[in-house]
């Protein structure tokens, strides 16, 4: 396997497309992909680290740059429906319905793969995860790059996914050819992954497109992979990546769950003890509660009135607390209606399952 070596640092080009796509820069970025290099780019969910999905060596470089275990498959990004058939051995009717309704958008679907997709891209699986992102820069880059871009989130493995180009530069500068800055992303948590290879649709990773939205579109029951919520370690998640402790901040993170008032009281009490011991404490709150904390470094993720503000800010806050070298982070729980499942899935993983109920 290709191995990225510490001593081969390269100059990472930062392309500014915050004011819109740029034709000549885009053709340069497309050329990098077609020649086997890596370009990080914005999508509507998080920034992706892109390489030619049909080139096993490019996939190898992605794993190496991220420091990611190579049994963790990559999502193949396409820009047009006509690109699906060459890589999916079978396209179930339900997948067509979901594509019609949610593509381009934050939904990834798992198909049985054709031989066109190298095993290096799918981590040795005979299935392939595919998504069409809802972002103009991403779509143009996919077309300029030859039609198939493998892209995991553009973070170093184990760090929160990047929601701004500066996060990507922090993690990958010197390791990849190019980063396209398209400004901050809109959703902030990774796409929903749905497996359609077993007949009944199963959610392998919750995201913006939630269970209810999928059931409404398909008019059948959609289940959630048992491996995501099981306490039994012998039940593995079906998406290999979901078994890793991703999104882990350097400081210990503890979630406090319950009625708003009780949560504020509990976090305040815990913070008081830590501060007395000389610890630096970060608190993840919301606009509704931020003013109620008397101690600690308080950051508001957003407002419960508009839950996407919370998903947008969450990973960024975890990185900010990392940079501030806090010793401990307390977070309120965010069981909001549409995005709650996706947000809490990430937060619980970041917390290594440390949850206090009040
Ligand atoms: O929103 C997103 O999906 C972002 C942007 C960049 O598109 N991408 C992303 O990729 O989150 P990544 O590599 O960080 O996460 C991909 C997840 C992993 O948990 C992986 O195990 C799972 O998708 N996955 C990929 N291919 C799969 C397959 N064939 N079967 C099951 N799970 C798969
Ligand atoms: Mg990731």
- pTM value? 0.95
Residue 247: closest CA among 129, 352, 335: 352
Residue 285: per-residue pLDDT: 98
Query: Which of 41, 241, 244 has the most ligand 1 atoms within 8 A of CB, as the residue to mutate?
Result: 241
CB 288 within 8 A of CB 304: yes
65 burial via Cβ count (<10 Å: 0-12, 13-18, 19+): buried
Output phi, psi for 307, to 5 deg: -65, -20
From CA 325, how far away is CA 322, in angstroms rounded?
5
- The predicted structure's pLDDT at residue 237: 85
CA of 345 to the centre of ligand 1 (A): 15
CA of 62 to the centre of ligand 2 (A): 12
Average pLDDT value for the chain? 94
- pLDDT given for residue 7 in this prediction: 53
Taking CA atoms only, the protein residue closest to ligand 1 atom 31 is: 239
State mean pLDDT over 44-64. Answer: 97
In ligand 1, which atom is closest to the CA atom of 133?
Answer: 7
Strands 39-41 and 48-52, sheet pairing: antiparallel
Q: Does the structure show a pLDDT above 90 at 341?
A: yes
pLDDT in tens, 125-167: 999 999 999 999 999 999 999 999 999 999 999 889 999 999 9
135 CA to middle of ligand 2, Å? 18
* Distance linking the first and last C-alpha atoms of the chain: 49
The model's pLDDT over 299-332, given as tens digits with 9 standing for 90+, comes to: 999 999 999 999 999 999 999 999 999 999 999 9
Phi, psi of 356, rounded to the nearest 5 degrees = -110, 130
Residue closest to 318 by CA, chosen among 241, 242, 255, 251: 251
Structure tokens at 234: 């012998």
Which ligand has an atom closest to residue 241 CA? 1
Q: How many CB atoms lie within 10 A of CB 352?
A: 12
Average of per-residue pLDDT across 332-346: 94
Q: What's the pLDDT tens digit per position in 167-197? A: 999 999 999 999 999 999 999 999 999 999 9
Tell me the percentage of the chain whose pLDDT exceeds 90: 85
Length of the chain: 358
* Residue with CA at minimum distance from ligand 1 atom 30: 239
Give the torsion sign (CA, 303, 307, 312, 313).
Answer: positive
CA distance linking residue 221 with residue 212, whole number of Å:
9
> Model confidence at 71, in pLDDT bands (50, 70, 90)?
confident
Percent over 70 (pLDDT), the chain: 96
* pLDDT surpassing 70 at residue 246: no
Pocket test for ligand 1, best of 157, 179, 193, 349 (most atoms within 8 A of CB): 193
Buried/exposed 158-197: b ≥16 CB within 10 Å, e otherwise:
ebbbbbbbbbbbbbbbebbbbbbbbebbbbbbbbbbbbbb
pLDDT at 266: 98
User: Span 253-277, mean pLDDT?
Assistant: 97
CB contact at 8 A, 229 and 353: no
- Going 346 to 350 to 352 to 357, the CA torsion angle's sign is negative
Going by CA atoms, what residue is nearest to atom 33 of ligand 1? 239
Is residue 124's pLDDT more than 90? yes
- Residue-level pLDDT at 229: 77
Q: How far is the C-alpha of 31 from the C-alpha of 272, rounded, in Å? A: 55
Q: Indicate which residue's Cα is closest to atom 32 of ligand 1.
A: 239
User: What token pair was written down for 108?
Assistant: 């990834």
Return the pLDDT at 73.
96
Position 5 confidence tier, pLDDT thresholds 50, 70, 90: low
Nearest to 310 by CA among 300, 321, 297, 295: 300
| Ligand 1 centre distance from Cα of residue 98 (Å) | 18
Task: Report the distance separating Cα 253 and Cα 238, nearest Å.
Answer: 26
Determine the distance separating the centroid of ligand 1 and the alpha carbon of 219, expressed in angstroms.
25
Q: Which residue has the tokens 């289940």?
A: 223
So what's the pLDDT on residue 3?
56
Residues with CB under 6 A from ligand 1: 43, 45-46, 48, 72-75, 108, 110, 122, 125, 127-129, 131, 133, 151-153, 190-191, 193, 204-205, 238-242
Residue 1 has pLDDT above 80, yes or no: no
203 beta partners: 194, 224
pLDDT at 334 > cutoff 80: yes
Cβ atoms of 11 and 179 within 8 Å: the answer is no
How many A from CA of 230 to the centre of ligand 2?
21
Are the C-beta atoms of 47 and 17 separated by less than 8 Å?
no
CA distance 128 to 49: 17
Give the pair of three-digit tokens for residue 358.
Answer: 């009040």
Q: 155: CA distance to ligand 2 center in Å?
A: 7
Distance (Å) from CA 129 to ligand 1 centroid:
7
Question: Which pLDDT band holds residue 64 (cuts at 50, 70, 90)?
Answer: very high
């Amino acid at each position: 396997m290709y191995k990225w070596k510490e001593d081969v640092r390269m100059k990472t080009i930062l392309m500014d497309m915050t004011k819109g796509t740029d034709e000549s820069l885009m053709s340069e970025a497309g050329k990098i992909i077609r020649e086997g290099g890596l370009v990080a780019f914005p999508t509507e969910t998080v920034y992706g680290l892109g390489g030619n999905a049909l080139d096993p060596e490019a996939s190898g470089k992605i794993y190496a740059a991220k420091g990611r275990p190579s049994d963790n498959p990559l999502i193949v990004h396409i820009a047009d429906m006509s690109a699906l058939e060459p890589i999916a051995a079978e396209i179930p009717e339900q997948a067509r319905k979901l594509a019609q309704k949610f593509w381009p958008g934050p939904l990834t679907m798992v198909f049985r793969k054709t031989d066109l997709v190298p095993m290096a891209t799918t981590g040795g699986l005979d299935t392939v995860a595919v998504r069409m992102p809802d972002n103009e820069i991403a779509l143009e880059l996919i077309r300029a790059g030859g039609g198939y871009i493998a892209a995991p989130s553009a973070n170093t493995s184990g760090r929160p996914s990047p929601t701004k180009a500066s996060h990507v530069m922090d993690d990958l500068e010197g390791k990849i050819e190019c980063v396209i800055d398209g400004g901050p992303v809109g959703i902030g948590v990774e796409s929903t992954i749905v497996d359609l290879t077993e007949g009944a649709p199963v959610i392998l990773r919750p995201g913006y497109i939630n269970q209810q939205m999928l059931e409404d579109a398909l008019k059948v029951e959609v289940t959630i992979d048992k491996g995501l919520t099981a306490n039994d370690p012998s039940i593995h998640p079906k998406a290999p990546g979901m078994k890793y402790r991703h999104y882990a901040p350097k400081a210990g993170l503890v979630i406090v769950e319950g009625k708003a008032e009780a949560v504020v009281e509990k976090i305040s009490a815990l913070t008081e003890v830590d501060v007395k011991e000389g610890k630096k404490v970060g608190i993840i709150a919301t606009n509704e509660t931020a003013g109620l904390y008397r101690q600690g470094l308080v950051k508001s993720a957003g407002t419960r009135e508009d839950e996407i503000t919370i998903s947008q800010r969450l990973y960024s806050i975890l990185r900010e607390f990392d940079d501030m070298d806090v010793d401990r982070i307390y977070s309120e729980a965010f069981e909001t209606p549409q995005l709650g499942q996706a947000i809490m899935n990430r937060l619980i993983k970041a917390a290594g399952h440390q949850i206090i109920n009040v």
